[in-house]
């Protein structure tokens, strides 16, 4: 069936020309999966430079939370730009204070918080690690296999979703020990409850034989695993991790860079489990595409930082703060609830699709953070890596922008304003692409 929105071969001539120019001047390290060259976007739709229209179910890796170029966000940025573009963190401006106050009112800590402003997720993680070391006087950390926290040298020490992210960069920050992320579909430890098994491993094995608990500054975890496969941890696991941290005086850091700002149908993913972190990292969807991140910590923790202990040049940029404030207005007023409602519908439709295709091993997620894991065999659950890659490519050729994660999981992270009608269109394109991919990989 021909897609009326795809008007040229893909990539088209203009896209091919731009990609050729890019190859001469842009780093080849960017992990680009297929040759989409963007011209412009509106809401959940994007167009390439050759005039082909696509449904965007990747949202710039969960960044464009309010869709592409939302009028309210664009207006806020333009108004801020008319006043001034930059002042640096050496001085004050009202937009930064307003955003700090807004996060203080919304944060899940159940007590006052303070924020440090950054430009990205990885910088937010770096700041959280420095804060944890500074206030505890401890040097060690615990992270999770499958986790993704960034690519700078501190955050990279935790990132464990693909070995390629580590290859060639040893040694990075020392003192990080990894444990399994509890995944019932792919259990690494014995026992029916992977959450309890991981907690027992930390408490009864790691702290006994390898890592002194009294030297651990913090445990860093994604409340829902992102790059590692869009895995929702078992009920009770995050609460158990909170209790473990409290017993040993360890800070609990939630990396909400991908899962926060309404993505899961709640403002922060940790609210599904009603567990409060000591420190939280934000970025991606916070600015609807503008580069902003935050380290959010209990005031009792962050106020212990001394003058000059940490800083940056661009943190709290006025345009980015304006975008974040407009984003939070939209998400709290409407789009978080839409993510919950449309996400539940989408999850149900994907589960129905799984009943017709044996290669779909599991569908999981919260809100509009949904993963569909592909397998070669449902009994062995062997990852269908080549099928996943083929599906992502075929979806692009059919007009649907997707990304993968984990071993063989298709992840769906559309803008939070997505409609059920657009979900239905995406499902039609997805099924067509899956049939085509099956034809090329068997």
Name the more confident of 167 and 356. 356
**Residue 169 pLDDT grade (very low, low, confident, very high; cuts 50, 70, 90):** confident
3-state secondary structure of 135: helix
pLDDT in tens, 291-325: 999 999 999 999 999 999 999 999 999 999 999 99
| Pairwise CA distance, residues 335 & 341, whole Å | 10
Residues 113-141 have pLDDT tens digits of: 999 999 999 999 999 999 999 999 999 99
Q: How confident is the model at residue 442 (pLDDT cuts 50, 70, 90)?
A: low
Contacts 24+ apart (CB under 8 A), 159-168: 160/228, 161/227, 161/228, 161/405, 161/406, 162/227
Global pTM value: 0.97
Q: Angle, nearest 10°, between helix axes 71-83 and 318-330? A: 150
Residue 196 · residue 180 · CB < 8 Å = no
CA distance 223 to 201: 19
- Per-residue pLDDT at 198: 98
Spatial contact of 102 and 329, defined as CB atoms under 8 Å apart: no
Q: What pLDDT, on the 0 to 100 scale, is given for residue 330?
A: 98
pLDDT above 90 (res 441): no
Per-residue pLDDT band at 60 (split at 50, 70, 90): very high
User: Taking a C-beta distance cutoff of 8 angstroms, is the pair 363, 371 a contact?
Assistant: yes
Output the pLDDT for position 397.
97
For the stretch 319-330, pLDDT in tens is 999 999 999 999
The CATH architecture annotation of domain 71-331 reads: 3-Layer(aba) Sandwich (3.40)
Q: What is the mean pLDDT of the chain?
A: 97
Mean pLDDT confidence for 255-276: 98
**pLDDT (tens digit per residue) in 135-156:** 999 999 999 999 999 999 999 9
Task: Please report, for the chain, the start and end positions of each structural domain, with discontinuous segments joined by +.
Answer: 13-69+335-441, 71-331
Q: Is 55 left (phi over 0), alpha (psi -120 to 50) or beta?
A: beta
* Whether the Cβ atoms of residue 234 and residue 182 lie closer than 8 Å to each other: yes
Residue 1 confidence (pLDDT)? 55
Give the Cα separation of 8 and 30 in Å (integer): 25
Condensed to tens digits (0 to 9), the pLDDT of residues 93-110 reads 999 999 999 999 999 999
User: Would the pLDDT of 77 be above 80?
Assistant: yes
The yes/no answer on whether domain 13-69+335-441 falls in CATH 1.25.40.10 is no
Q: How confident is the model at residue 172 (pLDDT cuts 50, 70, 90)?
A: confident
Dist. CA 92–CA 395, nearest whole Å: 47
pLDDT band at 280 (very low <50, low <70, confident <90, very high): very high
Cα Rg of the chain, angstroms: 22
81-90: long-range contacts, CB 8 A cutoff, minimum separation 24: 81/319, 83/318, 84/318, 85/318, 85/319, 86/314, 86/317, 86/318, 87/318, 88/313, 88/314, 89/117, 89/311, 89/312, 89/313, 89/314, 89/315, 89/316
What pLDDT is attached to residue 162?
86
Quick one: pLDDT band at residue 171, thresholds 50, 70, 90? Answer: confident
């Amino acid at each position: 069936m021909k897609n009326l929105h795809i008007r040229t071969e893909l990539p088209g001539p203009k896209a091919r020309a731009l990609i050729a120019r890019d190859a001469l001047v842009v780093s080849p390290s960017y992990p680009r999966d297929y040759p989409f060259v963007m011209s412009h976007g509106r809401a959940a739709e994007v167009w390439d430079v050759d005039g082909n229209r696509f449904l965007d179910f990747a949202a710039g890796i969960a960044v464009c939370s309010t869709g592409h170029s939302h009028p309210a966000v664009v207006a806020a940025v333009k108004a801020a730009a008319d006043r001034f573009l930059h002042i640096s963190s050496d001085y004050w401006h009202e937009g930064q204070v307003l955003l700090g106050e807004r996060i203080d009112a919304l944060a899940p800590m159940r007590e006052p918080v303070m924020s440090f402003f950054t430009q990205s997720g990885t910088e937010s993680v770096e700041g959280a690690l420095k804060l944890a070391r500074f206030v505890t006087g401890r040097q060690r950390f615990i992270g999770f296999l499958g986790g993704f926290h960034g690519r700078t040298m501190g955050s990279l020490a935790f990132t464990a979703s693909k070995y390629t992210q580590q290859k060639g960069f040893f040694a990075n920050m020392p003192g990080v020990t990894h444990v399994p992320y509890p995944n019932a579909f792919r259990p690494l430890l014995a026992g029916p409850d992977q959450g309890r098994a991981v907690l027992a491993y930390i408490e009864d094995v790691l702290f006994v034989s390898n890592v002194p608990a009294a030297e651990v500054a913090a445990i860093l975890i994604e409340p829902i695993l992102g790059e590692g496969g869009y895995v929702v941890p078992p009920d009770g696991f995050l609460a158990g991790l909170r209790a473990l941290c409290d017993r040993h005086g360890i800070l609990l850091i939630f990396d909400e860079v991908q899962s926060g700002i309404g993505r899961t149908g709640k403002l922060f993913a940790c609210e599904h489990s009603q567990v409060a972190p000591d420190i939280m990292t934000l970025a991606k969807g916070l600015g609807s595409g503008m580069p902003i991140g935050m380290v959010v910590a209990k005031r009792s923790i962050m106020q212990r930082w001394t003058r000059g202990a940490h800083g940056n040049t661009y943190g709290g940029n006025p345009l980015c703060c304006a975008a974040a404030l407009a984003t939070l207005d939209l998400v709290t007023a409407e789009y978080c609830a839409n993510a919950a409602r449309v996400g539940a519908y989408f999850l149900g439709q994907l589960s129905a699709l799984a009943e017709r295709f044996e290669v779909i091993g599991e569908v999981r997620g919260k809100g509009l953070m949904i993963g569909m894991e592909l397998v070669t065999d449902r009994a062995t659950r062997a990852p269908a890596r080549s099928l996943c890659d083929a599906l992502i490519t075929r979806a692009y050729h059919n007009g649907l922008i997707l990304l993968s994660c984990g071993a063989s999981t298709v992840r769906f992270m559309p803008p939070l304003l997505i409609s059920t009608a657009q979900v239905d269109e995406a499902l039609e394109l997805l099924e067509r692409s899956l049939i085509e991919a099956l034809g090329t990989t068997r």
